[in-house]
Every structure is written in structure tokens, then in C-alpha cells.
Amino acid sequence: MTKKLIFKKVFTGQAWLENQAISIVDGRIVSMQNADGGIAEGFLVPGFIDLQVYGGGGILFSNHQTSEAIQATFDEHAKSGTVAFQITLNCSPKQAMWDAIDACKSYRGKGLVGLHLEGPFFNPIKRGAHTEAFVQAPTYEFVQEIIERCQGLPTYMTIAPEMFTPDVLNLLKQSDIMCSMGHSDTTFEQAKEAGISRITHLFNAMSQWQSRSLGLVGASFRSDAWTSIIADGLHCDFESLRLAKQLKGDKLFLITDAVTHDESGPYVFTKTGARFTNEAGVLSGSALTMDEAIRNCVNMADISIEEAIRMATVYPAEVANLSDLGSIEVGKRACFVQMNSALEVVQVWYDGEALIN
């Protein structure tokens, strides 16, 4: 059966279109044509994609590697427009990693597009809010086992490249796992030599850009590596966000890094205002939503509406090889967000089904 949405204004991810009738069959766009009438309030944009989110609804995936945790994450973040996400596991022991992989493989709900293993191969001095006891050495055997267990599951992994020997790093890079540099004290030269095309949460838990030592921040600015950023004004100042956008252009994309309050496991993050911290008072994830991140880009960093939306849609789709998401085009999944003039979410469609009553 064909469904049809008619919108006065649509931003496809590339261009603005007016008076569009979008026909949907089996959750995919089969045609887009000019039409009169339809929904006039606000505009339609592609569904948001979050490549780093830890949980939702009071269930942290790092404490509960279950389908229920993944579903709770979707249920909470879909309200603010996120239709696709990589559930993220904090630096964790081996068994929690294996349970996370199994949970993702067995999940049959909505939204999940992969697993983000944030760790355990960090530089301990840049571990941030992650538990130091869970930081582990990247041995050849350990990395090989991760690769084997992740077969068939899109997997993204944040690593500190300076902690690897060349042969083990090459093993990981040549696998299907998407590598990203983060929680790292790497030098500019080491980062360049690593040859990894993704960088995790710019400015946070990494070697900084100094006058005689450019660090991982400088490596991001001197390369075309895809780089994520947390646009909440806490993980980085909005002026830093503005500068990063000027320097990185279309290689900068948004993540929420969002956590949830859950005291039932090894990771407990407490919320005060808009800030989550761990027991030591270290900034720990965020309370950010993707629609808020977009508003912050526009209102606080002078990034255009179009570019802010791309940072939450087109670019993360490219980063994670999600060819059927990220834009509104014939053949792609019918995942959309209706926003009003204040850039607030009005309605969300997931494979053509409205989610907000």
C-alpha cells in the first residue's frame, strides 16, 4: 500500500524543495513529485543519526548490555528526531563487550545501525570519565577476537593509536571495524602516521593544539578526517564550535554523547542542571539531544540551518556508511523529522510511520 506525505517545504539534505508529495511503499521513498496542499507548518528534513549515544530512559548500555537498553535508547531519542544510532559501550571488561555484541546482533527493534565500542584501548591519562581498571592493552589475540565476534555487526571503535604496535593497528584497520581516534595523547605525527580517517569528540579527552605540539586536535584541523563534536556548550565552548566548523567544513558532524541516570552498574553518572558527572566530578557524557545540538549550531555558532542539519544527517550517514539514510531521496528509507521555525521537533517518521502522537 502506498502512503503519501505532502509538505509545503522540504530540505532533502542537499536542497530546499517546495510543495512535495512523497510516496512511500514498504518504508521507502518511491517517488517525489510536485503537489499542492499538504502540511504547511515548518519543514521536513531527514531523520537524525547519532553515532555516539549510551542509553536512555534510565537504562545505560554500559550497565545493561541488553535489547531492552537499546530499545529504551531509541524510545527516548526518537522523540527528538534521532531515527538511527550506534549504541555506545563505555570502556568495559571483555565479558561486557561480548554481551554488547550479542545484544546488538539479537536486537530486533527500531533505530540501531551499529555498535560503538568506546574503548577499551585508551591511553589511561586521557580516559576521561571511563573507569581506569577497564582500560586494556591491544594485544594481537584480543583484537583478533573482537574482529571475529563483530563479524556481521557494523562496529565503530574509538582507540588511542599510540597504544598499539604497528602490526596490531594494521590488523584492526584492515578489518571491517570502523576506527576512530580518541581518548588519546597521540602526537600530531603519530596521528598522521596512524592513517585513521575518523576522530571522536573533538577537544575532549585528547592531546590539545599547542604552539609547538599540535596534538590530535591539530591533526584533525590539518586533515580531512571525519570528526565528531558535542555541541552542548559544556564539552566545548560555542566559540570553539564556530572555529571548528570554519576549519573542518563538511568533515565535522554532530553526536550527542548522551547518557542517562542509572545506578545499577559500574557506570553511575549524576545530572546537575545540564551536566552529567561521575563520582569524581568528571564531565561524563551529556544531556544533549540532537535537535538541541542543531539549534546550538545555528543560534550559538552562526552555522546555517542547512549545514547544521547536514551535520546530523548527511555527514554521519557518510561516516558510518549508511547509504539508505541521511537524506530525502527516492530509494532511501522514509525516515523524516518535521521541524518548526524554532527548530523544534514536531513529528518524526520512521520508515513512513509517524512516531509522535
Q: Which residue has the cell 528534513?
A: 45
Number of other residues whose CB lies within 10 A of the CB of residue 205 = 24
Measured CA distances, 258 to 24, 44, 182, 261, 319 (Å): 32, 24, 17, 10, 19
Same domain, 34 and 180: no
- Residue 255: left (phi > 0), alpha (psi -120 to 50), or beta? beta
End-to-end CA distance of the chain: 22
**Do 264 and 334 fall within a single domain?**
no
**58-92 pLDDT per residue, tens:** 999 999 999 999 999 999 999 999 999 999 999 99
Residues 159 and 175 in one domain: yes
Q: Are residues 186 and 59 in the same domain?
A: yes
Q: What is the mean pLDDT of residues 158-172?
A: 98
Residue 287 and residue 248 in one domain:
yes
Together in a domain, 248 and 303: yes
At 275, the pLDDT band (50, 70, 90 cuts) reads: confident
Gap between the Cα atoms of 79 and 75, Å rounded: 7
Quote the percentage of the chain above a pLDDT of 90.
89
Same domain, 89 and 193: yes
Given the residues 185, 232, 257, 262, select the one marked as catalytic.
Answer: 257
Range of the domain at 345: 3-45+328-354
What is the C-alpha to C-alpha distance for residues 92 and 94, in angstroms, rounded to an integer?
7
What's the total number of domains in the chain?
A: 2
Query: 39 pLDDT exceeds 90?
Result: no
Handedness of CA 8, 12, 17, 19 (dihedral sign): negative
Distances (CA, A) of 334 to 110, 159, 254, 343: 13, 34, 21, 20
286-303 average pLDDT score: 97
- The model's pTM is 0.97
Q: Is 257 known to be catalytic?
A: yes
For 334-349, the pLDDT digits (tens) are: 999 999 999 999 999 9
* Residue 270 pLDDT class (50, 70, 90 cuts): confident
Question: Mean of the pLDDT values across residues 36-57?
Answer: 93
Q: pLDDT-derived band of residue 15, with 50, 70 and 90 as boundaries? A: very high
Looking at the fold, whether 314 and 265 belong to one and the same domain comes out as: yes
Three cell numbers at 200?
Answer: 571522536
Residue type present at position 40:
A
pLDDT-derived band at 299, boundaries 50, 70, 90: very high
Same domain, 143 and 270: yes
Do the Cβ atoms of 311 and 81 come closer than 8 Å? no
